[in-house]
Amino acid sequence: MVNSLQRQRQRQRQRQRRRRRFRAVAAGAAALAAAATIGAVAWNAGAEEPQASARQAEYTAAAAEYGVPEEILLGVSYMQSRWTDHGGDPSTAGGFGPMHLTDEVETLNGAGHHHEGDPRGDDTRPLDLPEEEDEPVAASGPVTIDDAATLTGETEADLRAEPAANIAGGAALLADYQAGLGVDSDDPADWYAAVARYSNAEDATTAARFADLVFGVIAEGATEDTDDGRVALEATAVDADESQIALLGLAAPAGTDQTVCPAHLGCEWIPAPYEKTGSLPSQYGNHDLANREEDIDINAIIIHDTEGTYNGTLDVVQDPKRISWNYTIRSSDGHIAEHLDHGNVGWQAGNWAVNMRSLGIEHEGFAASGSWYTEIMYRNSAELVAYLAERYDVPIDRAHILGHDNVPQSDHWDPGPYWDWGHYFQLLGSPLEHATGGIAGGAVTIAPDFAANRPVMTGCDKSNDAAECPVRGASTVFLYSEPNLDAPLLNGASNSVDDLGARAGYGQRFAVAEVQGDWVGVWYQGKKGWILNHEDAPVLAPAQAQVVVPVRDDVTVWRDTFPEAAAYEGTGATYRPNAVVTTIDADQSYVMDEELQSQALWAKTFEGPNFVVNGETVFYQIQIGHRIGYVNAADVTLETV
C-alpha cells in the first residue's frame, strides 16, 4: 500500500514531468513561430497578415498539453487581458498575466483619495466626511493562483511573472473546471460552463455574460499586438451549449427588477440609504431627492474609479453619512450593482451643477497604482453606458461621457491617465478619429495610440512622489509653454500623475491657435499650449467643431450653470452665484460642446421641499482645459472651424 508521503512524491514527480514537457513544447512551438515569421518577412516585408508569435505559440502549447480547445483558451484570455502580460503588474482585481490568475496582493487604498473632498459639490452646504485611512487592502476576487500552481507544478512567482507559465496555469484551470463539471468533450461548444466558471462570478447572470462574451470573441475573431508579438484568434462559429450554466448551481442576482440596466448584465440592487444622520434638518445622507426625469435632463455620464476594493466601496455607498453614485462595477467579473433611483441626485462628481445633470459609475480600481482594468469590466461598463446614453439621449462623445477628472473644479482626477478611452469608445460603438500628422488649423481631437503613448509620469508610488511611474500606455498628452521639449510644461505644471494643469485626454477637442512644424498650439485655459504631433508618432486628429469666440477680453468661464438672481425671486430659494474658473480673451477660441439652460436644484433639508429653479441665462459648455467649463452665451459668438 502506498502511504501518503509516497503519493505526495509521485504527484510532485508527475507535476515536474508535466512542467518540463510543457516548457519543451512551448519552446519548440515558439521557435517554429519565430522561423515562420522570419520566413514570411523575407518573402513579403509589407505583408499585413497576422504572423505567428512567441505568445501565440504559448497558447498553442498550453492548449495541447491540457486538452483545452485552443479557441476556448484564447477567448477566455482575451476577455481577461486581451492577451497582454501588463509587465507582471496585477489588475485591479489582483489578477496577473494574460490569463488573469488572481492572488492575494495588497495595494494602498486611497491612491487618488477618491472619497475625500466634497462630492456633493454644494458650496452652501459642504459635507464634512470622515477622514479615510491609507491602509493596505487585499484586492477583491477569489484566489486562483494556488490551484494553478498545484495543477501545473509551476511556482506562484512564475505564474505571476512568466507569460508561458501563466497561460499554462489558465489552461490547467479550465481543464480542471471541465473535469469537475463531469463534461468530457473536445467540442468547444461543450465548454460553456467551464468558461463561465473561469469568471469566478457569484451569480448565474454575470457568469453567463462572461461566457457569452468569450464565445462572441470566438465567433468574431480578434487580432492584437501584445507585449510579446501579435496574437490572432480566427473567427469560428461555435453553437455553445448555454444550458450548461445550470451545472454551476449559481443563484440569480438580487433585485434585478429594481434596476435600470440591460437584463443580460444582471445588475444587482444595493440601495444607497436616504436617512437622517443627526438632529438638524440639514443632517442627512447620502443623496438628494429630486424628479430629474421630469424636471432636469440627464446630459452626462461620469466615469469614476473607486480607489478601493469593490466590497469596501459598497460599504461607502450604503453609509448614510457618506456619499452615493449610481452604479459600481467589479473588476474580477464585471458584476454591476446599482444604488440610486435615477430621479434622485447622487453626491459623486464634486460639482452640484454637474451632479444635477449626470449619472455616476464607479469602477473598481486605482488611478495611479501599477494595476490595470480588466477587459470584462471595460465591456460591461461600455454596455451599460451605451444603454443609459440611448435612454437619456446622451451623446456618446468625450464632452458627455466624462471622467471625474473632467468635472469643473473637482479636486479628483480619476479614472486617471491609464484608463483606455480609445478602447472604451470602440466598445461603445463610437470610435474616435485616428491621429495624423500635418495638422494645419481649425480644431483637433486628442487621439494618441494608447499602447504606444507612454509619457513619463511621477507620483504613482505614494512613498516616493518623485519616483517615475511604471512605463505603460496612457490616454493623455502634455502641453508645453513653448514648441520645444526643453520648455516648461504649460501653467508651471508638473508631470505628476495627479497634476492636470498641462494635460489633455483622449477624445477632447481644442481649437488650433498656431502651427509650427510638428508642434500644434491650441487654446487651453486662456493660454496657448503646445502639443508635439510628430508625423511618426501623431497624437492629434483633425476635427470639425463649433467654437466660441469671446466678444471682448476677460470673458468669464464659469464652474456652474445656475440661474440669474431674478429667477430665484418668489421661489423660496436663495440666490447662489456661479463660481469663476478663469477668463478668456477675444483673440482665443474654444470648442463648444452643448447649449445648456440655467437651472438649480434646491435641496437643503431632509424633509424638503426640493424643487428646481429655472433661469433665462443660456450657457455653452466648452473644453477649456483638461476639465470642461461654461460661458454665458451672451459673452461669445459661435463659429464653425
Question: Three cell numbers at 327?
Answer: 452604479
Please give the average per-residue pLDDT across 586-595, as a whole number.
98
Instruction: Report which of 142, 144, 118, 112 is spatially closest to residue 130, judged by C-alpha positions.
Output: 118
Question: Three cell numbers at 468?
Answer: 517615475
Specify the higher pLDDT residue, 48 or 221.
Answer: 221
- Rounded-to-integer distance, Cα 613 and Cα 575, Å: 10
Q: In the block, which residue shows the cell 467579473?
A: 333
**23: pLDDT strictly greater than 80:** no
Check residue 308 and give its pLDDT.
87
- Rounded-to-integer distance, Cα 267 and Cα 619, Å: 36
Do the beta carbons of residue 479 and residue 529 sit within 8 Å?
yes
CATH domain 11-104+139-248 topology? Lysozyme (1.10.530)
What ranges do the domains of the chain cover? 11-104+139-248, 256-431, 432-544, 549-640
Give the pLDDT confidence of 616-631 residue by residue, as tens digits.
999 999 999 999 999 9
Give the pLDDT confidence of 509-532 residue by residue, as tens digits.
999 999 999 999 999 999 999 999
**136: pLDDT strictly greater than 60:** no
Q: In the block, which residue shows the cell 452604479?
A: 327
CATH domain 256-431 topology? Lysozyme-like (3.40.80)
**562: pLDDT strictly greater than 90:** yes
Check residue 184 and give its pLDDT.
95
Q: What is the mean pLDDT of the chain?
A: 90
Strand partners, 401: 301
- Rounded-to-integer distance, Cα 545 and Cα 527, Å: 19
| Dihedral of the alpha carbons of 407, 364, 85, 51, in degrees to the nearest 10 | -70
Instruction: Report which of 115, 105, 113, 96 is spatially closest to residue 158, judged by C-alpha positions.
Output: 96
Mean pLDDT is lowest, of 50-59, 251-260, 435-444, for 50-59
Question: Three cell numbers at 207?
Answer: 457568469
Report DSSP letters for 508-574, one per residue. Answer: -EEEEEEEETTEEEEEETTEEEEEE--TTS--EEEE--EEEEESSSSEEEES--PPPGGGGTTTSPP
Strand partners, 287: 346
Mean pLDDT is lowest, of 120-129, 426-435, 539-548, 558-567, for 120-129
Check residue 227 and give its pLDDT.
83
- Rounded-to-integer distance, Cα 585 and Cα 555, Å: 6
Check residue 24 and give its pLDDT.
55
Residue 322 has a CB neighbour count (10 Å cut-off) of 20
Report DSSP letters for 393-406, one per residue. Answer: T--SSTTTEEEGGG
Do the beta carbons of residue 399 and residue 281 sit within 8 Å?
no
Give the pLDDT confidence of 423-479 residue by residue, as tens digits.
999 999 999 888 999 999 999 999 999 999 999 999 988 788 899 998 889 999 999
**35: pLDDT strictly greater than 50:** no
Specify the higher pLDDT residue, 26 or 211.
Answer: 211
Specify the higher pLDDT residue, 39 or 594.
Answer: 594
Q: Percentage of residues in the chain with pLDDT exceeding 70?
A: 88
Mean pLDDT is lowest, of 107-121, 246-260, 390-404, for 107-121
Do the beta carbons of residue 287 and residue 347 sit within 8 Å?
yes
Q: In the block, which residue shows the cell 473632467?
A: 406
- Rounded-to-integer distance, Cα 306 and Cα 627, Å: 20
- Rounded-to-integer distance, Cα 210 and Cα 23, Å: 30
Identify the burial level of 15 via C-beta atoms within 10 angstroms of its C-beta, where 0-12 means exposed, 13-18 middle and 19 or more buried: middle
Report DSSP letters for 395-452, one per residue. Answer: -SSTTTEEEGGGSTT-S--TT-TTS-HHHHHHHTT---PPP-S---SSEEEE---TTT
